[in-house]
Amino acid sequence: MVKTRLQVAANVNYDVFSRYLEWMAGRGLVSLENASDGHERVTLTPKGHEAYRKLVQWIHEVVQGRAPGT
């Protein structure tokens, strides 16, 4: 996803977004790539996909009080 579109979708100011993005990149959860169209793109790494899956599972189990798929 284009970096600026992700920032707008996250609904946080750019400075806060940049700090979160740096934090995630530093932990190998996302990668930043310069695209041929001149935009910087953010993609989840395999580690990021796994972290997302675990987060969704935790939300289902703890916050909603049920296991995924039930």
Q: Which domain holds residue 8?
A: 3-63
User: For 10, how many CA atoms within 13 A lie in the half-sphere containing its CB?
Assistant: 17
Kindly report, residue by residue over 11-49, the tens digit of the pLDDT.
999 999 999 999 999 999 999 999 899 999 999 999 999
Query: Residue 69 class from Cβ within 10 Å (0-12 exposed, 13-18 middle, 19+ buried)?
Result: exposed
Average pLDDT for 39-65: 93
User: For 44, how many CA atoms within 13 A lie in the half-sphere containing its CB?
Assistant: 9
* Structural domain includes residue 70: no
Number of domains in the chain: 1
Residue 12 DSSP class: S
* Structural domain includes residue 50: yes
What is the CATH number for 52? 1.10.10.10
Note if the pTM is more than 0.85. Answer: no
* Structural domain includes residue 68: no
* Structural domain includes residue 35: yes
* Structural domain includes residue 69: no
